[in-house]
Chain A
Amino acid sequence: MNPVVLIFLVFYYVVVVGIGFWAVKKGGAKDLEGYLLGGRKVGPLVTAMTLQSTSMSGYMFLGGGSAGYTTGYWSIWYAVGDIGGGVVNLSVIGRRMRKLSKILGSLTSIEYLEHRYPHAATRLISGSLSVFLLFFYVLAQFIAGGKGMALVTGLPYGAALAIAVGIIMLYTFMGGYFAVAYTDFFQSMVMVIGMIWIFAATMINVGGFTAVNESIAQIDPTYLSIWGKDLANQYAWSDLLGAVLIFSVGYMGWPHVVTRHMAMESPKTARLAGVYSTIWNLFFVTAPYLLGIFAIIVLPNLADPEMAIFTLASELLPAAVTGIVMAAIMAAIMSTADSILLQVGTIASRDIFQRFFHPKATDHQMVWVSRILVLIFGIVGLIIAVFNPPGVFAVTIFTTSVLGSAFLPAYVCAVWWKKANTPGALSSIIGGALSAFLFEKLGTGIDPMLGGLIVSWLLIIIVSKATQKSHPVADYIVKAMDEAIKIGPIPKDMLAKSDFNLAQEASGINKKIDK
């Protein structure tokens, strides 16, 4: 344990808690009220920083580094998909979904699925599946936090994990009011500084890309291959496609990512957001994988590859700076974990508990359900992470594969294919999740993401076509889709500048005109 590192980490937590306390007591500026209540946004810098930083998680620092360390340049395939993921996501479903969800009046992504594919089973299955899989994603954050804390404090993993989970839970419950806007911004600043610092320090240490590649070639030239160490994935096109797909399109299955589309202002802002996210991703998405590759030279005998970035920081940086980098890693873990925990709480309370068990549940009862569930998740997650901790990389890839396979065709067809109906969507969600799971467990040689996606796409197309007569898509949904698509002799500029927020008024006026 290095006391200076620990002091900096503790100082970081004190600042985060201090900001929360100050913000609650002070209240907030008027603009922040709008931001927090979903009406408006704070400045573009804060918005962009906050949004992008929430996509940085424990996976980036542990999973990304581990993939780079163990497979070499093969791991960059994951980054390739991720770099363009934001743009693909926004272009394919973002704009249309924003309008359709507004017209249908959906508040959550699960509710949106039920509105588009009307049946109670849509919400029950989608909600349960999301809660189950998001739990594993939270688990990955817990493990990442525990490992980091163990390195910093020198405590045994179990004790360090308990502290990390405690901090994450406290942070989740601490949320509230203006604290969120300020702490999110502060956390994102720490993440940016920490990542740039460790990357620059490692780059200087290894002497640049050419030097690092020459050194790696001496250890094992296959690290430099696009097929991975020992050419383990040579001509394994399924694995390669799966690696690219996982974060390029897999994100479309994440409920908390998809929900972001429902808050866009206009197609123009959506386009700008896509550009910003690509620029951001070029560095921040590739950096962890590259750091893992650099670590092959700096830390040739690392026992746990997931510790690559943590150990690089403690080996190469002065203690005080290591404390900042550790704080950045904890910031990524905490800001992801609390968002997912809240998302899970909402899905469980609103989409499952209120919808199916207690339709007259009061707001207070629903909040209690959320809170209890978050606590249960924390305790169960802690137990699993102590006794049988899976790898952060493996858990994240597995969760994304299953979520992507389950939901991607349903979300895409929701806005692009008017014949996609409820039986088609349900069979695709169930079949996609199940097949991705089986491809993973049975080890067929087919990448779970790729296999799962093929199955779920086939199911939504075949079942929707086969059941068109018995389960036609309701007229009001087709009409809403037409409004969301808005094809016809409309100038592009006009569509680009249209305000998404007026979509529901446009729908209301159309209803009255039709009458």
Chain B
Amino acid sequence: MPDNKETTSVKTKINLIPGTINENDAKNIVSKYSEHHSVQVQKLIYYPYYWFLFSFTVKTLFGKSRSTKASCLVDLINNHAATTDSFDIAEKEVLTAGILEQDYTQEQALKTAKTYLMHSSIHNMKVLFAPDSEILKQSLVHKPFWIVKCTNRDRHSFKVIVDAVTGKFQVL
């Protein structure tokens, strides 16, 4: 059985959405909004998603619309979907310990993505016609997040995740 040091240095190849926010950037972003706190970047983690690129068209009273591409990421821990901007994917070796385990399968993710797109198209496009969709590309991808810890003078602390791709953050 490998010792702890070996376990934490094991690497795995994953499809990564490459981030431009480095450790120092993450620290600066959080520090900007947390004066009087000591800010410490704890680790980089990789969040699992299933990515689908759909092409779809909608029938309207004026005929069929032009086909449109919709990029959809399904969070494999919560099984929630969201549309997304286009992004690059790079194959990269990362520390296995930083990869979060997925709780949902590709099949479940596809169902969620289709339901979400259907809902979005009906609501936001106000269509009463079901869109015809086709999957152009799909892949298991991971997105990097920095986990940053903030501690105040009373030693109360909280954690923040910083999206290493966009620099946006959320309190944990």
Question: Would you give the 0/1 interface string for A477-494, flagging 1 where the beta carbon is closer than 8 Å to chain B?
Answer: 000000000101111011
Question: Would you give the 0/1 interface string for A222-266, flagging 1 where the beta carbon is closer than 8 Å to chain B?
Answer: 000000000000000000000000000000000000000000000
Q: Which of A169-177, A211-219, A324-332 contacts B (4 or more CB under 8 A)?
A: A169-177
Interchain CB contact under 8 A, B171 and A179: no
Interchain CB contact under 8 A, A489 and B123: no
Task: Give the CA-CA distance A219 to B45 in the complex, in Å.
Answer: 75
Task: Give the CA-CA distance A350 to B69 in the complex, in Å.
Answer: 24
B154 within 8 A of A: yes
Interchain CB contact under 8 A, B158 and A342: no
A residues 294-316 touching B (CB-CB < 8 Å): none
Question: Would you give the 0/1 interface string for A155-197, flagging 1 where the beta carbon is closer than 8 Å to chain B?
Answer: 0000000000000001011111101100000000000000000
A24 within 8 A of B: yes
B160 within 8 A of A: yes
Q: Which of B2-10, B19-27, B78-86, B87-95 contacts A (4 or more CB under 8 A)?
A: B78-86
Task: Give the CA-CA distance A339 to B122 in the complex, in Å.
Answer: 10
Chain B interface residue count, Cβ-Cβ cutoff 8 angstroms: 62
Given contacts A39-B82, A494-B33, contact A512 B60 (CB under 8 A): no
Q: Which of B84, B156, B163 is A489 in contact with, Cβ under 8 Å?
A: B156
Question: Would you give the 0/1 interface string for A19-36, flagging 1 where the beta carbon is closer than 8 Å to chain B?
Answer: 011001111100001111
**Smallest distance from the beta carbon of B86 to chain A beta carbons, Å?**
9
Q: Which residue of B lies closest to A492 (CB)?
A: B33
**Smallest distance from the beta carbon of A169 to chain B beta carbons, Å?**
10
In the complex, what residues of A have CB within 8 A of residue B70's CB? 33, 37
Interchain CB contact under 8 A, B127 and A506: no
Interchain CB contact under 8 A, B60 and A174: yes
Task: Give the CA-CA distance A340 to B128 in the complex, in Å.
Answer: 13
Q: Which of A107, A367, A495 is B128 in contact with, Cβ under 8 Å?
A: A367
Q: Which of B69, B85, B171 is A506 in contact with, Cβ under 8 Å?
A: B171
- Could you tell me the dominant secondary structure of chain A's interface residues? helix
**Smallest distance from the beta carbon of B147 to chain A beta carbons, Å?**
7
A220 within 8 A of B: no
Interchain CB contact under 8 A, A176 and B79: no
Given contacts A37-B120, A509-B147, contact A27 B68 (CB under 8 A): yes
In the complex, what residues of B have CB within 8 A of residue A33's CB? 68-70
Q: Which residue of A lies closest to B131 (CB)?
A: A363
Task: Give the CA-CA distance A469 to B43 in the complex, in Å.
Answer: 41
Task: Give the CA-CA distance A490 to B172 in the complex, in Å.
Answer: 11
B100 within 8 A of A: yes
Interchain CB contact under 8 A, B171 and A177: no
Interchain CB contact under 8 A, A37 and B83: yes
Interchain CB contact under 8 A, B126 and A342: yes
Interchain CB contact under 8 A, B170 and A506: yes
In the complex, what residues of B have CB within 8 A of residue A35's CB? 124
Task: Give the CA-CA distance A489 to B121 in the complex, in Å.
Answer: 40
A207 within 8 A of B: no
Q: Which of B65, B84, B150, B152 is A176 in contact with, Cβ under 8 Å?
A: B65
Given contacts A25-B62, A501-B168, contact A367 B124 (CB under 8 A): no
B residues 110-143 touching A (CB-CB < 8 Å): 114-130
Most chain A CB within a 10 A radius of its CB, from B60, B84, B115, B145:
B60
**Can you add 9 more A-B contacts, CB < 8 Å, to A38-B124, A175-B126, A506-B172?**
A24-B60, A36-B120, A180-B125, A366-B130, A367-B118, A491-B35, A499-B163, A506-B171, A512-B101
Chain B: residues with CB nearer than 8 A to chain A? 30, 33-35, 37, 45, 47, 58-63, 65-66, 68-70, 75, 77-80, 82-85, 100-101, 114-130, 145, 147, 150, 152, 154, 156-158, 160-161, 163, 168-172
* 20 CB < 8 A contacts A-B: A20-B62, A24-B65, A36-B120, A37-B83, A107-B119, A174-B60, A175-B126, A176-B65, A176-B126, A342-B122, A366-B130, A367-B128, A488-B156, A489-B154, A493-B34, A495-B171, A501-B168, A505-B75, A505-B145, A505-B170
